[in-house]
Structure 1
Amino acid sequence: MKTPLRAIALALSLALGSVGAQAQVAPSAAEAAAYTGLHAAAHKGDVAKIQRQVASGAALNATDAYGRTPLHVAAFARQREAIRALAKAGADLNTLENDRYDAVTIASVADDEATLKVLLELGASAKQVTSRYDGTALIAAAHLGHDGVVRQLIAAGAPLDHVNNLHWTAVIESIVLGDGGARHQATLKALIDAGANLQLADRSGQTPLVLAKARGYSTMVSMLEKAGAR
């Protein structure tokens, strides 16, 4: 029989996992087809058109109905050369769209390491507070077990111990919203190796170690115990 704590954690994982999967809204096919100007060029990765639009005075940070700039659109479409062209022209790399996501978090949630690398090299921040949960790109990536993304964000100075409005850190989300598998284990290892605080507890006072034990994630339990977690 599941313990009450484990049952609660599982329910939260399912509920928030479903919400998280829908929180970022990429342009629909209809929206993309209706785009003009820089938004259309960004979606298609048409660098020459971006350059022409910029030369003619197009607004680099103009938004569509969902608050997406051309940079957001390029990030969703994995159009890295378009991102470079927009950045070179002076586009804001850190603008938030209507659901408070930036390009870094968009790439992180998509497990798009190549696009994330370009954004970070261009100077996009890994430190912003994003989403309806007042989280970070690191927390979102840890939730999803995107370990390569997590390592990139850590290297870029992402705040290791940010606490979102659910009172969860990246460490906690890697456990509570993870599946305990290899990629979530690698995510937790990256956070431990980087020096994340393993004693920060959730709103109920449950530490990462207690949460890992409750879910039966023995490998994570071992990792946390070896790192001195209590």
Structure 2
Amino acid sequence: MTDRPPTPADRALLDAAEHGDLAALRTALAAGANVEARDDEGRTPLLRAAFADRVAAAALLVGAGADVNAQDRQLNSPWLVTGITGSVPMMRALLPGGPDLTRRNRYGGVSVIPAAERGHVAYVRAVLGETDIDVNHVNDLGWTALLEAVLLGDGGPAHREIVEVLLAHGADPRLPDADGATARTLAERRGFHDLAALLRQAEEHPPSS
């Protein structure tokens, strides 16, 4: 991460990216703006576009060589942010930039984990179907996407569907959290009886290794 102060053209690029102003983006780039310029929080133009879900602006920046893996001071990157926002169009706009699917956020997680927690069904389905992201990645808290979907979800239709999608893509229901509790155990504790039954069945027929 560079500490070089942004130039006026850099600032214009950062603002244009956040607002999705394509004309201003092109003008700033033509004026020599640094596509990897940083604001006070260490966010690049592409990261600001990702947070604001400015898909066309992001696509333009990716085409100009912007780094989809550049992380800010809180370890957010454009790619990792898609797991927070759940934006499938943004996810797809960033794919040509070659996202590092193993890059971790400040909790040690990959993008599918916050998406599972937040109930972003379409994103979980898309990122598992269109990339090789590790469905069984364990973050620094000891949680996989499956564990977070149960532990931090609400047990409703969206989180149930996410559990089904995760299992269909090879999520291992036998993987426990740091305290030794599996997703089924967590579902039982939270009173998610339908989820617990689904996970019990998955434990009896786990994914082949």
Q: TM-score range by the shorter chain?
A: 0.7 to 0.9
- Aligned pair count reads 195
**C-alpha deviation, 1:207, in angstroms:** 1.2
**C-alpha deviation, 1:116, in angstroms:** 2.1
Secondary structure of residue in 1 paired with 2:36: coil
Q: Which of 26, 33, 39 in structure 1 is aligned with 2:14?
A: 39
**C-alpha deviation, 1:188, in angstroms:** 0.5
Taking the aligned partners of 2:14 and 2:78, their CA distance within structure 1 comes to: 14
Taking the aligned partners of 1:104 and 1:151, their CA distance within structure 2 comes to: 16
Normalised to the residue count of structure 1, the TM-score between the two structures is 0.79
The residue type paired with residue 220 of structure 1 is L
Q: How does 1:55-94 map to 2 (within 5 A)?
A: 55-94=30-69
Instruction: Name the residue aligned to 1:114.
Output: 89
1:97 aligns with 2:72: yes
Taking the aligned partners of 1:125 and 1:118, their CA distance within structure 2 comes to: 14
Q: Which of 186, 192, 199 in structure 1 is aligned with 2:167?
A: 192
Q: Taking CA–CA contacts closer than 8 Å with sequence separation of 6 or more, which of the two structures ends up with the larger relative contact order?
A: 1
- Contiguous gaps of at least 5 residues in structure 1: 1-34
Secondary structure of residue in 2 paired with 1:159: coil
**C-alpha deviation, 1:122, in angstroms:** 4.5
Taking the aligned partners of 2:128 and 2:101, their CA distance within structure 1 comes to: 8
Taking the aligned partners of 1:78 and 1:112, their CA distance within structure 2 comes to: 7
The residue type paired with residue 214 of structure 1 is R
The residue type paired with residue 151 of structure 1 is R
Q: Is the 8 A contact 1:113 1:149 kept in 2?
A: yes
**TM-align CA RMSD:** 1.8
1:211 aligns with 2:186: yes
Normalised to the residue count of structure 2, the TM-score between the two structures is 0.87
- Contiguous gaps of at least 5 residues in structure 2: 1-9
The residue type paired with residue 170 of structure 2 is G
Instruction: Name the residue aligned to 1:145.
Output: 119
Taking the aligned partners of 1:94 and 1:38, their CA distance within structure 2 comes to: 18
Taking the aligned partners of 1:108 and 1:82, their CA distance within structure 2 comes to: 18
Q: Is the 8 A contact 1:120 1:126 kept in 2?
A: no
Secondary structure of residue in 2 paired with 1:95: coil
**C-alpha deviation, 1:67, in angstroms:** 0.7
**C-alpha deviation, 1:79, in angstroms:** 1.3
**C-alpha deviation, 1:137, in angstroms:** 1.0
The residue type paired with residue 201 of structure 2 is K
